[in-house]
Structure 1
Amino acid sequence: MIRLAISLLMLALLATGCAGNGDKAQGPPKEVPKSALEGLLLTTDQVDTVMGAAGMVAHKPVTEMNDHRNLLPNLNCLGAWQVNESAIYGDRWTAMRQVLLRAPDNDNWDNLLVQSVVIFPSSQEATDFLNQSAERWAKCTNHNVNITLNGEPLPRWRSGDLTTTDSELTLPFTRVNGDQTRACQRALAVAANLVMDIQACKPAGSSVTQAADVVDQIKAAMPR
């Protein structure tokens, strides 16, 4: 009887522990401090797995916004065309990390991922940014972007239909560079005070969901 009582007690404690861990994992993400930003990005091995491609090469992390307004002044499309644009984010963000990975690591890449995380001062400001972006992206669906730089055409860009939820935007697009066509996905998502700005591309004909998949993995790594 004593052994049975001890066994039942241990089972009860294990069940309680499992329930507690499950509740913690499923709870809403907490606001992210700057010190935790670096650890939210996927590792190279994780990127290889999610992209289904071996040998993805990571470039040096970026901590400042890009500025391509001179190439595309249309703000409705700028934020969908490129991640982390200063004209889109303005001065509302407080810290960011962006890493580009591709394979092979040259201009004729087959697989590419740009993953970035951006901290805002509050959850409300991050949500406001997503809502503003949703309004802009909705005006850039099924849209062509054709840009010439120094007399040379940049890869052509053609967007598809926008999918929106309360916390995430996803937009498929096609990238054509000469005889090379890539199927791509953009994802912009918010959780607590964090915005995730992701682009994923694979060879033509691929069903690309990897940008949204990366969002899910980053969210899962957020503090709770």
Structure 2
Amino acid sequence: MIILPAIDIKNGQCVRLTKGDFATTEKVAEDPVETALDFVKNGAEWIHMVDLDGALKGNLENSKIFKDVAKETSLKVEIGGGIRSIESIEHYLENGIARVILGSAALRDPELTKEAVKKYGEKIAIGIDAKNGMVSASGWLEDSDTNYIDMAKSMEAIGVSTIIFTDISKDGTLSGPNLDQLGKINEAVSCNIIASGGIHVIDDIKALKEMGIYGAICGKSIYKGTLSLKEAIQYSK
């Protein structure tokens, strides 16, 4: 299992939200590159980054920060937020980003998603963010009538290899991941599933590993000190 420490960016700052609510924005670190370098010291090989402004506005708002992290660290950068065109995908992949996440675009623009997966294969991941099992979009401000399992199966059908699943009600709460929904999506499709939302302590990492989950995104738990990144990475191997 891989552990992906997370940095979310809003207005150029490292922040975390609770349940995706922008009113709960909390600054958690000073400098994105320095924070990423600290993750490297603790054994991280991947980093999960989100452009929160981009997710709201539908374009690339903080792209320089993500490219700087890719350029100035050894981390493989996974980036999501506002990526809704082939041009945006190409921009990131041509500037050192290892994996691009399509979220709203995957829900609304199946043709773009098919084209991206056909062209870039494993470099494309799909973000499925759900409230009560139904997929949300546009920075989690818009709900849909699409069930998360149905979306996962449709993504599998077009060749998607990696899905990042977030239970929005768990995100940033330190209340533990939604093991029930994660288990169901992991069983429903052959894609690699990355768990996001609610991870709190090392027991959560153990539970995810025992379930055969491919990866775990850890954000607030690292910043609040309830989870040791180094311990999580060592356990995950």
Q: What TM-score comes out, normalization by structure 2 length? A: 0.29
Report which of the two structures shows the higher radius of gyration computed on alpha carbons.
1
